[in-house]
Amino acid sequence: MALNDQNIEIAKLQKDIITTLGISQENAIFNFKQKNEVVRFDLVTINPKHEQSFLFHTVHGTDKVDALRKMLEYINEHYSSESSMTIQWVKIGDNKLHTSYFRARNMYDALDKFYYERDMNQYKIFSITLNPVS
């Protein structure tokens, strides 16, 4: 695939991901890291209410296009089957209680998504709740 075609495919897949999730472009961060022959893609979402970012999901691919396709596949086929969880938390020094929602395999996975690229000592978790299935 020519570089220009690859850039167009990357832009299309990113738009498809945003549209499928129903979020705006400014509330999504596409974080790619290449190590040897593997591309790690962390999709990070930003909560517009309290302006905090959280890891949505991580996939690995052979290149950016492959990783984006895998993320879209995860969203379409697996995301809704993961458990819905609520985390109530405060940032140390700020007394405002925040509520954030995650889809995760278990509470440890939810905590990993919460603490993604964060100093654990800067946040206090008050509760993690598995939400009822509707």
60 and 88 co-located in one domain: no
48 and 87 co-located in one domain: no
59 and 107 co-located in one domain: no
> What pLDDT, in 10s, does the model give residues 52-100?
999 999 999 999 999 999 999 999 998 888 999 999 999 999 989 999 9
51 and 88 co-located in one domain: no
Range of the domain at 73: 1-81
49 and 27 co-located in one domain: yes
Task: Check whether 124 has a pLDDT greater than 70.
Answer: yes
- Please state, rounded to an integer, the average pLDDT across all residues of the chain: 94
CA dihedral 33, 35, 39, 42 (to 10 degrees): -40
12 and 60 co-located in one domain: yes
Cα–Cα distance measured from residue 85 to residue 34, given in angstroms and rounded to the nearest whole number: 31
Final residue before a domain boundary, out of 81, 105, 122? 81
Cα–Cα distance measured from residue 86 to residue 48, given in angstroms and rounded to the nearest whole number: 17
56 and 104 co-located in one domain: no
- What is the CATH classification number for the domain harbouring 2? 3.30.160
What CA–CA distances, in Å, run from 121 to 115, 124, 125? 10, 8, 10
CA atoms 57, 60, 64, 65: torsion sign: negative
Cα–Cα distance measured from residue 74 to residue 60, given in angstroms and rounded to the nearest whole number: 12
76 and 86 co-located in one domain: no
Confidence (pLDDT) at 133: 79
What type of residue is 121?
N
Q: What is the pTM of this model?
A: 0.90
> What pLDDT, in 10s, does the model give residues 1-52?
666 788 999 999 999 999 999 999 999 999 999 999 999 999 999 998 888 9
Final residue before a domain boundary, out of 65, 81, 97? 81
What type of residue is 44?
V
87 and 74 co-located in one domain: no
What CA–CA distances, in Å, run from 14 to 25, 45, 72? 9, 13, 9
Task: Tally the domains of the chain.
Answer: 2
35 and 89 co-located in one domain: no
